[in-house]
């Protein structure tokens, strides 16, 4: 039925140059009506620039074309003009206002009220219920968005985007990494909403680094590499290896490095760790050991990194770090770092980096004392060390004076890891280290985990990525209801067993 329609979204010859640096070159993509089309590429490949151009945030170079349902839209565009032409966006941060109601978020700026005309609340509430029901959502429009789950928020953003282009026969939706902070069940709910939108004639451009999601939800894929479209394929004809080859331009035997490290003496021991959603965790990690930690939302797994690091209040009956007494309740974070404990947090933008500072300032932040003599900073020494770290961790571009916020997500993550691991910790806690990064950055991060293990560093890998845990860990701890529900090792270290133990209620 959809095949006879004009493409919902067609871009031709999109190029963009910044200060002589070309980040997009002659990019052309077609998204058919009723199709879910995946856009693949490493961080820095040009995906974000393309989205910014389509949304009107940045103008393209001369010669670019944009057609929505076959109708040309002339650059430069504005968010209002593309919305009126049938194009809407769901960004990674969802752009919802938690303090407002579901109704307010759906209709803000489109109430139709004015001087002497009250807001038609009852009619809009009925319209909201109808729109939500079409996407399988039974939510009170008066409910505060802050009370919704992450999955419901993502689905709400799709409903709002669809309302923004309501009335267009073949609207286009651009979903820019909407699953980055969702668990598996929430991703499935989002996919249900996406399929409902496609069934109603929408063409969806779906951007994700998770190749299993691309294989599950998309009909076709287009790959960007170095700002150039390097290939297009029907997803039904692809597997994960072929997608990796499409992204990187090379076929990999595996993105997981081999490891044969035998763990040594205990590096971190904690008994009765309690705080937040954790109700009493006994944990031991040995030198060179990679211990995976996972569980469903509110299982307690996500709270453990921050209880151990001291950013959340915790208690423990006994704890040792590298053979010395470790006061989980009172030890300052700075002392924990000096004692050999390090954390790469899950939210790099909020907790791992100062996006307004330079890359150099971020990477050297935990070691500033080493670059100071007689109260003066030695910029040459700092620049030399930062340059070495950027090269070692393959941070691109390798420009220490660049503002951290302009780096792609994967390169920000590599810079945060460079900053953290430069302290030469004895125990490293990695919370969702591959969240929102491309396959190339994932491969590097996995190699870093293997290298840490080989050097005798203990690693606590906290993640919902079951395949990563199975392939990188010596053993995996599954938490349920704030306590250990299961511990897996040996032949049980497969993603299916990890998922099974996460879902158990015992």
pLDDT per residue rounded down to tens, the chain (506 residues)? 444 568 999 999 999 998 788 899 999 999 999 999 999 998 778 998 999 999 998 999 999 999 999 999 999 898 888 988 999 998 877 889 999 999 999 987 665 544 456 667 888 899 999 989 888 888 999 999 999 988 888 889 988 988 888 888 889 999 998 887 777 777 888 899 899 999 989 999 999 988 999 999 999 999 999 899 999 999 999 998 899 899 888 876 778 998 889 999 999 999 999 999 999 999 999 999 999 999 987 899 999 999 999 999 999 889 999 999 999 999 999 999 999 999 999 988 888 999 999 999 999 999 888 888 878 888 888 989 999 999 999 998 889 999 998 888 888 999 999 999 999 999 999 999 998 888 888 999 999 999 999 999 999 999 999 999 999 999 999 999 999 999 999 999 999 999 899 988 75
CA distance 349 to 352: 6
Q: pLDDT tens across 117-137, in order?
A: 666 788 889 999 998 988 888
Q: What is the DSSP letter of 330?
A: T
pLDDT of residue 5: 66
Q: Tokens 């209801």 label which residue?
A: 481
Q: pLDDT tens across 408-431, in order?
A: 888 899 999 999 999 999 999 999
CA distance 461 to 457: 12
Q: Tokens 């985007």 label which residue?
A: 161
Check: pTM over 0.95? Answer yes or no.
no
pLDDT of residue 117: 60
Q: Cβ atoms within 10 A of the Cβ of 158, count?
A: 24
The 475-480 sheet, strands edge to edge: 341-344, 427-431, 458-462, 290-295, 475-480, 483-489
CA distance 479 to 505: 10
CA distance 431 to 462: 5
Bridge partner residues of 429 (DSSP): 343, 460
Q: Rounded mean pLDDT of the chain?
A: 90
CA distance 431 to 307: 12
* Domains, in order of start, for the chain: 2-99+168-248 (3.40.50.300), 266-503 (3.40.50.300)
pLDDT of residue 323: 93
496 Cβ partners below 8 Å, 6+ apart?
none
DSSP letter string, 288-313: T-EEEEEESTTSSGGGHHHHHHTSS-
């Amino acid at each position: 039925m959809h095949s006879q329609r004009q493409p919902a979204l067609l871009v031709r010859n999109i190029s963009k140059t910044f200060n002589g640096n070309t980040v997009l070159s002659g990019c052309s993509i077609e998204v058919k009506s009723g199709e879910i089309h995946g856009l693949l590429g490493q961080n820095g490949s040009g995906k974000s620039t393309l989205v910014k151009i389509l949304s009107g945030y940045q103008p393209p170079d001369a010669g670019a074309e944009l057609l929505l349902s076959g109708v040309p839209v002339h650059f430069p565009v504005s968010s209002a003009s593309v919305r009126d032409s049938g194009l809407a966006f769901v960004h990674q941060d969802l752009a919802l206002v938690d303090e407002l109601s579901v109704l307010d978020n759906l209709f803000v700026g489109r109430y139709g009220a004015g001087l002497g005309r009250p807001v038609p609340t009852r009619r809009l509430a009925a319209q909201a219920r109808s729109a939500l029901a079409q996407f399988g959502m039974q939510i009170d429009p008066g409910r505060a968005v802050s009370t919704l789950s992450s999955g419901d928020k993502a689905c709400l953003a799709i409903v709002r985007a669809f309302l923004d282009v309501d009335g267009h026969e073949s609207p286009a939706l651009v979903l820019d990494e909407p699953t980055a902070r969702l668990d598996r069940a929430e991703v499935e709910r989002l996919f249900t909403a996406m399929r409902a939108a496609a069934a109603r004639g929408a063409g969806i451009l779906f951007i994700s680094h998770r190749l299993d999601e691309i294989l599950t939800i998309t009909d076709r894929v287009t790959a960007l590499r170095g700002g150039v479209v390097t290939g297009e394929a029907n997803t039904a004809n692809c597997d994960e290896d072929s997608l990796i080859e499409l992204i990187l331009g090379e076929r990999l035997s595996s993105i997981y490095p081999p490891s044969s490290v035998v763990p040594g003496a205990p590096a971190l021991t904690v008994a009765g760790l309690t705080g937040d959603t954790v109700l009493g965790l006994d944990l031991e990690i040995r030198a060179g050991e990679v211990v995976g930690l996972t569980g469903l939302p509110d299982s307690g797994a996500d709270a453990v990194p921050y209880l151990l690091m001291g950013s959340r209040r915790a208690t423990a009956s006994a704890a040792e770090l590298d053979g010395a007494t470790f006061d989980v309740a009172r030890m300052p974070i700075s002392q924990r770092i000096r004692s050999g404990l390090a954390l790469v947090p899950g939210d790099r933008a909020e907790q791992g980096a100062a996006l307004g500072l330079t890359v150099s300032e971020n990477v050297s932040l935990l070691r500033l004392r080493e670059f100071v003599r007689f109260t003066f900073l030695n910029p040459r020494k700092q620049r030399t060390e930062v340059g070495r770290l950027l090269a070692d961790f393959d941070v691109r571009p390798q420009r220490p004076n660049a503002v951290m916020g302009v780096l792609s997500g994967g390169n920000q993550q590599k810079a945060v890891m460079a900053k953290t691991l430069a302290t030469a910790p004895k125990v490293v806690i990695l919370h969702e280290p591959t969240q929102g990064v491309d396959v190339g950055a994932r491969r590097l991060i996995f190699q870093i985990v293997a290298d840490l293990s080989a050097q005798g560093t203990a690693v606590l890998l906290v993640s919902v990525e079951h395949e990563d845990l199975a392939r990188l860990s010596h053993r995996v701890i599954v938490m349920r209801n704030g306590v250990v529900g299961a511990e897996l090792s040996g032949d049980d270290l497969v993603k299916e067993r990890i998922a099974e133990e996460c879902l158990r209620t015992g």
